[in-house]
Structure 1
Amino acid sequence: MIEAVLFDLDGTLLDHESAAAEAIVRSFPDADPAWLVMHWSDLTEEAVDRYLAGELTLDAQRRLRIVTLARELGLGDWDDARADAWLAEFLPRYRAAWRPFPDAAGALDALAARGLRLGVITNGDAEQQRAKVERIGFADRLPVVVASSEAGSAKPDAAIFRTACAALGVRPGAAAYVGDRLATDAWGAVAAGLTGVWLDRSGDPAPGDLNVPRITTLDALPGELAV
């Protein structure tokens, strides 16, 4: 019996990709937007992975992204001061573009109406991630936010899933976890003893041997968990 449902944040409840794309295109309006958005996404993923692995601080991974991008745009080699000045303009643009996916609120409300406890497990900086939850209007719905920067571990490590279950007062076996990354989220949750659900918004055909439920919209989640 599922007593609690935990969610990934970026890509699951909050449309991070659209927010990042909007902010970076506004920052470099003369660059090819398709290349810019894709390359910024790649740089972000590489830098964040190094941050989660403990190789870079939060500020250092942010600087690395823009210093690399500036060099590739032919803008020269930026020092930390110039990178920080650019970030001081970019980050408010990114925050202003934070929006929930249209299917998020309804799914949360449907699950809460059943009396299920709800929360978030997110890889990232706790202050920023809680600000996202607040900004998109879900703070009351999601009172528990467990972030890797505070938990001391990051998904897919089982420890962060178990930390979140303890915060909600449930056994891992009584909790479900929903996220948009198959290995990091769904399979990671299963390895920690939770029910893992993969949210695949891509529209691509389902791959074989998933071993976890797959949904293409959060609208389907209440029905999936009722099975």
Structure 2
Amino acid sequence: MRGPRPTAGLRRRGGEPSRAGPLRPRRHPLRTPGGRGGGHPSLHRLAGRTVRTVGRGRWHDLEEEHYHSYLAGRLDFEGQRQARARDFAAHHGVTLSPGEARAWFAAYFEHYVAAWTLHDDAVPCLDVLEAELPGVGFGLITNGDLSFQRRKVEAVGLDRRIPLLVASGEVGVAKPDPQIFHHACARAGVTPERAVYVGDRLRTDAIGAAAAGLTGVWLDRRGQTPAPEDAADANALGVRRITGLDELAGVLVG
């Protein structure tokens, strides 16, 4: 968050929800349990796919679908992970049991965590905002576990630059509920109308923040076409749209 127009959060992209920092996974082989495909020979082929592939297209779509089912209460957190693994494997002609889906996702996630890195525009964005907006401060809001998010921020060296971490597991409500945005603003000592939230989920992040009284900014790196309802709500709430963090300062300062 910052003085003139605080920012309520920057978010990550990748294979695990909470997406609250400008993170991405490096390309690496997606392996399966024990390196043997969890008992499915066909999963040897999946193990050869890279996170660059997994992070786009079908995997991203499944993440959106099942994570929103989790937010809506139709799946628990572990259930949405299993559903993503199951449906991704099915897309490649492989059927996974619940136990196999759990093990497959766990193996994927170990490699995902080991490969955390920042988007190239993340640190330059923070530098420009600090130069253009004296007194600016940064925070992060995540739908997830606080200790896990703190581990992530520390792993990429942003813990000194993003001191405020707010997690749904700690607060008891999740984005897009206005309460979590208001809680973050209160922690930062700013009013919602003087806060900006940047996120890569239009409904959960940008629209949710704007509905709570913040300036909502949608980080749309993929050039997506939003659903008509989402587009209408975003327009009505004045949500800003950027395709990279290098555009953020121009939106906020210009």
TM-score range, shorter chain: 0.7 to 0.9
CA distance in 2, matches of 1:38, 1:204: 11
Take 1:91 and 1:205, find their aligned partners in 2: how far apart are those partners?
28
Contact 1:151 1:160 in 2 (8 A): yes
When residues 96 and 111 of structure 1 are mapped into structure 2, their CA distance, relative to the original with a 3 A threshold, is: same
From 123, 148, 151, the counterpart of 1:131: 151
| 1:30-45 aligned within 5 A | 30-31=45-46, 38-45=57-64
Amino acid at match of 1:92: E
**Bigger mean CA offset, 27-36 vs 193-202:** 27-36
Letter in 1 for 2:45: D
Please list the CA deviations of residues 10-51 of structure 1 after superposition, one character each: whole Å capped at 9, or x if unmatched: 2374344x55x7454x44551495699533333322222222
Q: Which residue of 1 aligns with 2:16?
A: none
Give RMSD over aligned pairs: 3.2
Deviation of 1:168 after TM superposition, in Å, equals: 0.7
Question: What is the Cα deviation at residue 202 of structure 1?
Answer: 3.2
- Equivalent residue of 2:138, what SS? strand
Write the mapping of 1:179-218 to structure 2, written as runs, cut at 5 A: 179-203=199-223, 210=235, 211-218=238-245
For residue 121 of structure 1, the aligned residue among 141, 152, 157 is: 141
Deviation per CA, 1:73-111, whole angstroms, max 9, x where unpaired? 45444243x444334422211112222111111111333
- 1:80-119 counterparts in 2 under 5 A? 80=99, 82-113=100-131, 114-119=134-139
Do residues 51 (structure 1) and 66 (structure 2) align? no
1:55-94 to 2 correspondences below 5 Å: 55-70=74-89, 73-80=92-99, 82-94=100-112
Aligned to 1:10: 12
SS at match of 2:141: strand
TM-score, reference length from structure 1:
0.80
Determine the C-alpha separation between the residues in 2 that align with 1:146 and 1:64: 26
Q: Which moved more, 1:4-13 or 1:112-121?
A: 4-13
- Opposite residue 221 of structure 2, the aligned amino acid is R
Gaps of 5+ in 2: 14-19, 33-42
The one-letter code sitting in structure 2 at the alignment partner of 1:61 is Q
Cα 1:48–1:214, aligned 2, differ >3 Å: closer, same or farther? closer
Q: Does the aligned pair in 2 maintain the 1:8–1:122 contact within 8 Å?
A: no
**Distance between the aligned counterparts of 2:106 and 2:218, measured in 1?**
35
| Corresponding residue number in structure 2 for 1:224 | 251
